[in-house]
Structure 1
């Protein structure tokens, strides 16, 4: 009979949960419907951001994009509302961080940094820098980058005397020091933050910093002092009636007393943590308490008692799918069985722990891959919006020009025939030029996905080969290069220094990808000002790629790639020389492998050069390829000479 009541209880909970879910969905979508009736101005942007924050938990629980924030970003960009774009990026980044999507969170917050810098708003910039620092602090291998962002925020916050951001930056730097076991430095930062929080009468900030000081003293082995600070933090959290803060303090006190081998008090505080966790929505804290109490019983040799708590932790984790805690719990069960001498069950539990560990590693790899693709998609959409706005402005200017033409023809009837003739001629020339420009943009769009696909394949290979350090290094450099490509390729011409910067980053990635089988050298003539000379973006890269993959990777011994750039008049000459196997040998290798297709990057670039020649009405744009040989006819490599018309900023 008890079993029947137990089943009925959970059935009622399930029905209640589904009713709540349905009610939440109705509220969200009714709110979205009401948004469509609002005028598309700055007030609507602010309203969307407020609603996105108040309904954020609905989207976070379901792993969905916050539709209000996304609409706020789109509308802000359309009406050029900088404050709205900044706030929407900040809140979207926080939402991503709450779902542990730290790479995406950092990308959104870096965009907020950019807008704050453009707006020259120091308070915005402090906020964006601190948020970006927190994102990187959550990534275990990005602590140095996190420190740089928080340090910049601290300097700026002190300059404008913004106490809130000073406290956040100092506390975050202290946590970074704590993570790297620099406990004395951590204490120094936490004490500064504590004093500022007291002056600001921010009780929650006081509680947090008191607890952090306790963690640092525990790291130094000064347990009595750690316990003193934990109790001070506990007292403040009791005044605030902060359940999460109370649970953290009780767990910390239990951990400290466990180290002192005062098991009675350790049990007392861990049980209090378990009791307080009943008031916290997130069940992960209850599971942690069960696990800690089980470990404490195991230390005292009471293995059966420990096993009960371990199993309670496992049952809860399986219900809520806490894979990390399942891995830790089964490992603790394995240690418990081992201490009892039951090695068979110990091995079975350890195997289950390893299964969850492998599952977590696969999820982390998939998450990194998915977030990288998402960063690319977000940046691509932002650039599309900018291009649409640019096209809209051109269309408006063209409309105004046509109105002027119409009024002029009406006023000067005598010049009607002559004016009409020149107008039609001018329009045809403009149409032809715009057609060529669109074809050129289309060719650039073909080339960039070609390069990005190859790079993503390399990241994929690193991840699946479990080469995490190289994957992380490659992923960081690739994200930077991808951002640069997305920025550069929306323009017909970019400065030479930007082209060379992206080329160097590309070469670094290819060296890493090819296990450092070649070196490269880029030489620019002394009379060339790299910032003034303007060239088409990504015009050199395909020839460099061809030299690497068809010449240098097949060479025995270290390869060398030399790039020399000079400018004469309004013509740029770029010479790409490699000491690879030569074109003849490369063709033989391709034929043996059954590869007969031409490089897409080379084909697209040839089309670009042909269009550049037509647009500029010049024969100077050209590509010459020379096979380098010694006196006996032995291949010494290949030289490509690329000749292009250039523009100048001034």
Structure 2
């Protein structure tokens, strides 16, 4: 009887182990039905990414009892489809979710793949630091599992990052590492692309022979693959390289070869004609240049490639002016200007959409937190109701006290959030207007730099607005970025300096966020922007016996009686908000706050000084 009992006990134990193993395995497998659906969406992703996204959303929402791995793979494919559809913010958020799931499953291979996609999306959004972080993490995981292909992709992502930063020496190191890893494989298409990227770096470094050598390797591989479309692109790149090197005869040979091959395969590609136009313009053969530019223009118009069309029309305007055909020049200039306005409008909409997506994400987080607060409060109410029959007086008193305390805390947090937000709209809308103006002036480098800095400011605001405190280093970084954005906006009519006492550990000291920005903004808006030359802004941070001392000093035009009258309400509002925030800390710091008008010996205004202290 005892023996029988032991046998039953052992059988039950083994059954438990089997069921546990089966349950765990189920979480890490993909069912055939899901695999079939994934194959169907894969074929759509390359041709119809939007349809692919809809099908993947349907699978994620309607499929019951998805395993963790199935959910992660579906999210990964959705992120890739969003990426191909140029929806980089949504792709980033989707890959972030699947990356967390892959990490939970210890699926290092797929985790590293999602990290590379995260890096690519971040790079497209201009977030260089985040792109580098994810690329390096992907590289580390790929080396850990010994996957050369993923390692090569991580190196290639780092190449793109450094190429974007115009750090061509490091870009060359990374693309060379990618080349050495992929050259061992059989993916000829990827190897051709890598050779082309390597050549593009050599071209930037003006090492033309090495660039031509890499293009030659790519051309040989393309010929062996019998891939005429890729061969057209390589021939075209070789032609452009010879133009850079000053060998116009060879450049014409390869560009004409590219154009001829295009005709043979009935492909529509404007690049060879544009290259020939550039070549003949350099050779002062204006008639031939005009003919080829017009051929390129027809293709760009047919493909709605507005940026290239603008560039070609600029060349045609110049040619028309040189030939004295001012009517044609004017016609092209009118079309070119209308296209520039349209492209600028699209860029503005893209920037606004990026800001809106970030805002919606934060809004959803707020709604979730609010719902959690409601759920917690309801649970507390239920417990209080049950306990009221036993401890009526104590429970009631506790409930009233707890409700009041939560109401006060919530009101304080809401007030602080509102106060911080009130400081931002004026600057944001002015900055967007400035971006539009710079874009219309036709300065893409300055516009791109401005957009990158403004995007970083938006991201910092969203990151810090809900925090009670941040490190001093983050506060300094944010205010530096804000001032530099203003410098771009006002064409560097003023300089600035931030002096921090050497003994301060800026990474260990915590301060309330966005304390300095209102006074820096006032110094720029009401003092320095009116001073056309010699404007200086100084921010000093020093330690004292029990905390920090802050000084914001400018040598602007000062605050005249008329200026005081005009901005009295605005400055009073900003100062009241600032003092209210200090009062909430309950350390008496508001008593140290001083705004002082500065005058020279002749009683002429020479600037403004703001001083306050924080206790740590």
- With the length of structure 2 as denominator, give the TM-score of the two structures: 0.68
For residue 438 of structure 1, what is the aligned residue in structure 2? 414
Aligned length: 567
Contact 2:300 2:306 in 1 (8 A): yes
| C-alpha RMSD of the superposition | 5.8
Task: Give the superposition deviation at 1:490.
Answer: 1.5
**Quick one: distance in 1 between partners of 2:215 and 2:539?**
63
Contact 1:624 1:641 in 2 (8 A): yes
Q: How does 1:482-493 map to 2 (within 5 A)?
A: 482-493=458-469
Q: Find the aligned partners of 1:343 and 1:546 in 2 and give their Cα distance.
A: 53
Query: Quick check: 1:229 aligned with 2:217?
Result: yes
Deviation for aligned residue 1:357: 5.0
> 1:278-314 CA distances to partner (integer Å, 9 max, x unpaired)?
4xxxxxx344466679999999999999998876655
Q: Which of 347, 366, 382 in structure 2 is aligned with 1:403?
A: 382
1:124-523 superposed matches below 5 A: 127=113, 130-131=116-117, 157-170=142-155, 193=178, 196-209=181-194, 220=208, 229=217, 231-238=219-226, 244-245=229-230, 247-248=232-233, 270-278=259-267, 285-288=268-271, 314-324=297-307, 326=309, 343=323, 354=333, 358=337, 361-410=340-389, 412=390, 415-514=391-490, 515-523=492-500
* Residues 605/373 of structure 1: CA separation in 2 closer, same or farther (3 Å cut): farther
Q: Which has the higher contact order (CA 8 A, sep 6+)?
A: 1
> Greater CA deviation, 315-324 or 440-449?
315-324
- Mapped partners of 1:581, 1:204: distance in 2: 60
Of residues 622-631 and 47-56 in structure 1, the stretch that sits farther from structure 2 once superposed is 47-56
Shift of 1:487: 0.5
Secondary structure of 2:410's counterpart equals helix
Q: Is contact 2:310-2:340 (8 Å) kept?
A: no
CA contact (8 A) 2:535 2:555 kept: no
**Ranges in structure 2 where 5+ consecutive residues have no aligned partner:** 1-29
Counterpart secondary structure, 2:551: strand
Deviation by residue 1:458-480 (Cα, 9 ceiling, x = unmatched): 43444344454444333322222
Q: Matches of 2:186 and 2:525 in 1, distance apart?
A: 63
User: SS of the counterpart of 1:420?
Assistant: helix
| Structure 1 stretch displaced more, 504-513 or 374-383 | 504-513
Kindly report which structure 2 residues correspond to 1:547-586, keeping only aligned pairs within 5 A, or say none.
547-553=523-529, 557-564=534-541, 566=543, 574-578=549-553, 580=555, 585-586=559-560
What residue is the counterpart of 1:7 in the other structure?
A: none
TM (normalized to structure 1)? 0.65
Partners of 2:171 and 2:600 lie apart in 1 by: 64
Deviations 1:535-561 (A, max 9, x none): 432233212322343345556845343
Which residue is 2:21 aligned to? Answer: none
Does structure 2 conserve the Cα–Cα contact (< 8 Å) formed by 1:495 and 1:533? yes
Correspondence list, 1:90-105, <5 A: 90-91=79-80, 94-97=83-86, 105=88
- What CA distance in whole angstroms lies between the structure 1 residues aligned with 2:542 and 2:60? 42
Which runs of structure 2 are paired with 1:631-646 in the superposition (5 Å)? Answer: 637-642=607-612
Structure 1: gaps (5+ residues): 1-41, 98-103, 279-284
Question: 1:301, 1:537 → 2: CA distance?
Answer: 59
The 3 A distance-change label for structure 1 pair 427 and 608 is farther
- Is the contact between residue 440 and residue 608 of structure 1 (CA under 8 Å) also seen in structure 2? no
Summarize the Cα distance change of 1:275–1:604 in structure 2 as closer, same or farther, 3 Å threshold. same
Q: What is the CA-CA distance between 1:597 and the residue it aligns to?
A: 5.4
| Residue of 625, 630, 635 corresponding to 2:595 | 625
Alignment partners' CA distance in 2, 1:608 and 1:65: 50
1:108 deviates by: 5.6
Distance 2:607 2:165 in 1: 49
- In structure 2, what is the Cα distance between the partners aligned to 1:621 and 1:181? 47
Match of 1:599 in 2: 570
- The offset of 1:447, in angstroms, is 1.9
Per-residue CA shift, 1:220-274, capped at 9, x if unaligned? 3589967863552233432xxx564354356568889996669899766643322
The match for 1:588 among 547, 562, 569 is 562
Residue 167 of structure 1, CA deviation: 2.9
Separation in structure 1 between the aligned mates of residue 487 and residue 251 of structure 2, nearest angstrom: 56
> What is the SS of the residue equivalent to 2:462?
helix
- Answer yes or no: is the 8 Å Cα contact 1:174–1:186 preserved in 2: yes
- For each residue in 1:89-114, what CA deviation from the matched residue of structure 2 results, as whole angstroms up to 9, or x when unmatched? 843662354xxxxxx74896599579
The CA distance in 1 between the partners of 2:159 and 2:181, in whole Å, is 14
